[in-house]
Structure 1
Amino acid sequence: MGKRHYPVYKIVAADSRYPRDGRFIEALGTYNPNIDPMEVTIKEPRVMYWLKVGAQPTETVRNLLKNEGVMMKFQLEKKGDSAEDIESKVQKFLSDKDAKINRAREKKSRRKQRKKDIKNAPKESPEAAKTAETVTSGT
């Protein structure tokens, strides 16, 4: 998937005996890191099925599933929590994650604006500094 210098990845279920980029059993989603925020699409019911039957996600896919709340949902189901409790905890996790991302974006934009303001501020010429110095020392 994707093209040169623009990678897009498939999230798949594959037998461990298959080559890494070779045959797979089922496509479970996609991951596009090129846009901001990165785009992750996951077929959640199928991912949950594969996790329940013992599939081991790679470290990268595990991190993507954590960010989407799928791993949290899997752990809570495994623990035996009720469906309503699981849904509320996952929604809280996702809203907290979104708030954290928004705070980081706002902080970055404020920092960028501050740098722009400093760069565009009128600079004092050396002659103006000398006249200001003589005026203050003359009193």
Structure 2
Amino acid sequence: MVKIRLRRAGRKKLPYYQIVAADARAPRDGKFLEVIGNYQPTAKPHAITIDKERAAYWLGVGAQPTTTVRSLIRATGLLHELNMKRRGQSDEEIAAEMENWQARETERKQKRLAVKTRRRQAKKTAEAEAQAQATEGE
């Protein structure tokens, strides 16, 4: 069975992963069939590059992605695009839907970033109040 999985590279404390198609029996960093893409989790934001044609080929011939790789492929929109092709939609419909998907994705990321900034601000104000109370009590 062929798996699409991560192959670790990089150095200590700075991981860099290759997305590879490999035999399920091969070790994590061992023999593989083809490099499909790259993933840099230490970059801000995470950097994902995937050769969509090769990933579609391997998924088409029955390769099973691991859960992490599936989420990375989903983040690029490839799974959504492949599902639309499988349903028989035209290229124009797919292109329009992918533009809509991209817009929704950027909106979702902006909302998530706004929530994070609000939480950081609330944490800072809470810490400042606690500091003020500690100095008041002395």
| Partner of residue 87, structure 2 | 79
Secondary structure (helix, strand or coil) at the match of 1:102 reads helix
% identical equivalent positions: 37
4+ long deviations beyond 4 Å: 117-126
Q: How many residues in Structure 1 have an aligned counterpart in Structure 2?
A: 126
Question: Hey, what's the Cα distance between the residues in 2 that align with 1:119 and 1:66?
Answer: 38
**Counterpart selection for 1:30 from 23, 34, 38:** 38
Question: Hey, what's the Cα distance between the residues in 2 that align with 1:71 and 1:123?
Answer: 51
Between stretches 9-18 and 114-123, larger displacement belongs to: 114-123
| Partner of residue 3, structure 2 | none
Secondary structure (helix, strand or coil) at the match of 1:37 reads coil
Unaligned runs of 5+ in 2: 1-8
Q: Report which of the two structures shows the higher radius of gyration computed on alpha carbons.
A: 1
| Partner of residue 124, structure 2 | 116
Secondary structure (helix, strand or coil) at the match of 2:72 reads helix
Letter in 1 for 2:11: K
Give the TM-score, by structure 2 length.
Answer: 0.78
| CA spacing shift, 1:119–1:17, aligned 2, 3 Å | closer
Q: 1:49 Cα deviation (Å)?
A: 1.7
Unaligned runs of 5+ in 1: 127-139
Question: Hey, what's the Cα distance between the residues in 2 that align with 1:103 and 1:88?
Answer: 23
Question: Hey, what's the Cα distance between the residues in 2 that align with 1:77 and 1:119?
Answer: 52
Give the TM-score, by structure 1 length.
Answer: 0.77
Confirm or deny that 1:89 pairs with 2:97.
Answer: yes
Confirm or deny that 1:56 pairs with 2:64.
Answer: yes
CA deviation profile, 1:100-131 (whole Å, cap 9, x unmatched): 111111222133234434555795868xxxxx
**Counterpart selection for 1:70 from 75, 78, 84:** 78
